[in-house]
C-alpha cells in the first residue's frame, strides 16, 4: 500500500507519496489528500513522487483530481520530484513540470544543460529505433509477416503506388522548367544540343532522387508520424506490448521494408518523366531533332549517374521512415501533440534528406 506524509510550513503543504500508487491504494488516499488540501491557510502544494514504486492510470487520475481541486480553491500545485515509473505514467497525459528554482527561473547554463540532455535522450531513442528496425527487418521478417499478413504490400501500395501521380507531375514539370531555364543560355552559345546532357545528368544524379524524397517526406512521412503518434496517444502502443508484440517490429518494420522497395522505383519513374519533360521542351521549343536529343542523352549518361541516384533513394527512404517513426513515438497528451510531431517530422525529414544529399555529392563527385 502507498504511504503519505504531510507537512505544512508557511502556508505550503508538502505531500510525500511512496510505495505503489495504484487502484488498490487510491481509494484510501483520496479523502486524506483532499482534506489536507482544503485546510485553511494552504496557499501552495508541493507533491513529491520520488518514492513511488509503481503507478497506474488510477494514480495519475488521483493527481488530476488534486490538481482540479487546487485550481478550484486558487492553490498552486507543483510536482517537485518523481520516480521513473511515475514519470512514465504521467507522460501518457502530461509532461510534469519541474519545480521553479529560486531567483525567478533557471539560469541559461541550466537551460542549456536541460536542452543538451533532451537532445541526447532523443539521439539514444533514434539510435535504438534504427538498430531495432534494421535487425528486425531481416531477422524478424518472417514472424512479422505472420502477425500482419499482407502488411508489406499494403504499405507498399500506400507509399509507392498511390504516390505515382504526384511524383510524375512534379518530375515532369521540373524537367520541363529546367530545360526552359537552360535553353536561353545555351542558345546564346549555339550549344542547344547540350540541353540533353543537362537534363539527363541533373535528373538522374540530383533532381529525381531529391524531389521524390521531398514529396514522399511530405506525403508518406507525415502519414507515418501521425499514425504512430495517434497510436501512442491512444495507448495502442502500450496495448501491443501488453499482448507481447514489439511495436517497432509490428508497426515500423512493414513501413521500412515497403519504402525501401518502392523508393528506387519511384526515383526511376521520376527520372523518366523529368527527362521526358525536357525532351518535349527541346523538340517543341528549341527545334532539336528527337534522334539527336536521344543520341546526346545516351552519350552523356553513365552507369555511375544511375547507380548514385538509386543509392541516394534508398538512403533517403530510410531517413524519412526512421525520422517519422522517431517523432511519432515521442507524442503524448492529445491531438495537439499529434499535430506538432507530424509537423516536426516533415521538417526534420526534409532537412536531413538535404544534408544526406550534400554528403553523397561530396563522396561521389569530388
23 neighbors 1 (Cβ within 8 angstroms): no
Question: Which of 309, 268, 273, 279 minimizes the C-alpha distance to 173?
Answer: 273
252 near 325, Cβ under 8 Å? Answer: yes
- Regarding whether 21 and 153 lie in a shared domain, the answer is no
What is residue 144's predicted lDDT score, i.e. its pLDDT? Answer: 53
Same domain, yes or no: 64 and 166? no
| Cα–Cα dist 352/313, whole Å | 13
pLDDT-derived band of residue 224, with 50, 70 and 90 as boundaries?
Answer: very high
| Alpha carbon distance 39, 206 (integer Å) | 70
Task: Average the pLDDT over 17-23 and give the result.
Answer: 85
Q: Which of 90-99, 109-118, 246-255, 266-275 has the lowest mean pLDDT?
A: 90-99
Confidence of residue 143 (pLDDT cuts 50, 70, 90): low
pLDDT tens per residue, range 269-287: 999 999 999 999 988 888 8
CA-to-CA separations, 325 to 49, 51, 192, 318, 352, in angstroms, rounded: 31, 33, 46, 11, 14
DSSP class of residue 164 equals H
Hunting for cell 500482419 — which residue is that?
148
How much is the pLDDT for 104? 46
- The answer to whether residues 261 and 144 belong to one domain is yes
**Residues 53, 18: contact at Cβ < 8 Å?**
yes
The residue range of the domain holding 36 is 3-90
Burial string for 100-136 (b: 16+ CB within 10 Å, else e) reads eeeeeeeeeeeeeeeeeeeeeeeeeebeebbebbeeb
Residue of 139, 317, 81, 117 lying closest to 219 (CA atoms) = 317
Q: Are 304 and 346 in contact (CB under 8 A)?
A: no
pLDDT at 2 over 80: no
What is the bridge-based pairing of β-strands 12-21 and 3-9?
A: antiparallel
Q: Does 196 fall in a domain? A: yes
For range 120-128, the mean pLDDT: 87
pTM value surpassing 0.85 = no
Whether 12 is in a domain gets the answer yes
Single residue among 70, 90, 110 that ends a domain in this structure? 90
What is the number of domains present in the chain? 2
Does residue 151 share a domain with residue 275?
yes
Q: End-to-end alpha-carbon separation of the chain, Å?
A: 67
Residues 351 and 280 in one domain: yes
Of 350, 306, 344, the C-alpha closest to 212 is 350
202 by DSSP, 3-state: which? helix
Domain co-membership, 158 together with 13: no
Spatial strand order of the sheet with 44-55 comes to 3-9, 12-21, 44-55, 76-82
Residue position matching grid coordinates 507537512: 7
- 351 in any annotated domain: yes
Q: Are residues 143 and 238 in the same domain?
A: yes
Helix residue ranges, H only, the chain: 23-37, 57-72, 84-90, 108-138, 141-147, 151-159, 164-188, 195-202, 208-216, 222-233, 236-242, 247, 253-284, 290-300, 303-329, 335-365
45 located within any domain: yes
| Residue found under cell 508520424 | 225
pLDDT at 146: 57
Using the 3D structure, point to which of 21, 55, 90 is the last residue of a domain: 90
User: Does residue 225 lie within any of the structural domains?
Assistant: yes
Give pLDDT, residue 17.
87
Position 103 pLDDT exceeds 60? no
Predicted confidence at residue 355, as pLDDT, reads 95
Judge if 77 and 212 occupy the same domain. no
Quote the pLDDT of residue 285: 86
pLDDT > 70 in the chain, percent? 92
> Are 14 and 143 members of one domain?
no
Amino acid at each position: 500500500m502507498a504511504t503519505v506524509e504531510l507537512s505544512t510550513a508557511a502556508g505550503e503543504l508538502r505531500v510525500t507519496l511512496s510505495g505503489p500508487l495504484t487502484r488498490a491504494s487510491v481509494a484510501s488516499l483520496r479523502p486524506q489528500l483532499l482534506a489536507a488540501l482544503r485546510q485553511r491557510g494552504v496557499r501552495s502544494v508541493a507533491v513529491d513522487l520520488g518514492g513511488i514504486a509503481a503507478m497506474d492510470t488510477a494514480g495519475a487520475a488521483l493527481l488530476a483530481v488534486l490538481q482540479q481541486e487546487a485550481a478550484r480553491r486558487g492553490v498552486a500545485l507543483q510536482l517537485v520530484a518523481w520516480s521513473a515509473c511515475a514519470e512514465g505514467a504521467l507522460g501518457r497525459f502530461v509532461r510534469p513540470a519541474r519545480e521553479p528554482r529560486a531567483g525567478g527561473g533557471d539560469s541559461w547554463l541550466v537551460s542549456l544543460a536541460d536542452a543538451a540532455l533532451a537532445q541526447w535522450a532523443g539521439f539514444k531513442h533514434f539510435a535504438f529505433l534504427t538498430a531495432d528496425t534494421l535487425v528486425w527487418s531481416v531477422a524478424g521478417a518472417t514472424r512479422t509477416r505472420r502477425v500482419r499478413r499482407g502488411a508489406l504490400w499494403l504499405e507498399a501500395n500506400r507509399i509507392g503506388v498511390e504516390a505515382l501521380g504526384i511524383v510524375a507531375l512534379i518530375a515532369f514539370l521540373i524537367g520541363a522548367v529546367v530545360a526552359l531555364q537552360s535553353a536561353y543560355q545555351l542558345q546564346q552559345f549555339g550549344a542547344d544540343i547540350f540541353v540533353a546532357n543537362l537534363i539527363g545528368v541533373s535528373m538522374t544524379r540530383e533532381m529525381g532522387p531529391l524531389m521524390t524524397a521531398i514529396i514522399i517526406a511530405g506525403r508518406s512521412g507525415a502519414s507515418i508520424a501521425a499514425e504512430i503518434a495517434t497510436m501512442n496517444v491512444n495507448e495502442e502502443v502500450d496495448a501491443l506490448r501488453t499482448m507481447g508484440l514489439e511495436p517497432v517490429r509490428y508497426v515500423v518494420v512493414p513501413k521500412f521494408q515497403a519504402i525501401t522497395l518502392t523508393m528506387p522505383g519511384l526515383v526511376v519513374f521520376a527520372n523518366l518523366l523529368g527527362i521526358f519533360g525536357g525532351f518535349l521542351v527541346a523538340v517543341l521549343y528549341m527545334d532539336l531533332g528527337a534522334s539527336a536529343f536521344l543520341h546526346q542523352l545516351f552519350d552523356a549518361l553513365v552507369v555511375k549517374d544511375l547507380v548514385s541516384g538509386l543509392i541516394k533513394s534508398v538512403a533517403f527512404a530510410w531517413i524519412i521512415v526512421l525520422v517519422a517513426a522517431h517523432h511519432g513515438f515521442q507524442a503524448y497528451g492529445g491531438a495537439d501533440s499529434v499535430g506538432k510531431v507530424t509537423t516536426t517530422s516533415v521538417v526534420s525529414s526534409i532537412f536531413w534528406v538535404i544534408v544526406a544529399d550534400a554528403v553523397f555529392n561530396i563522396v561521389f563527385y569530388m
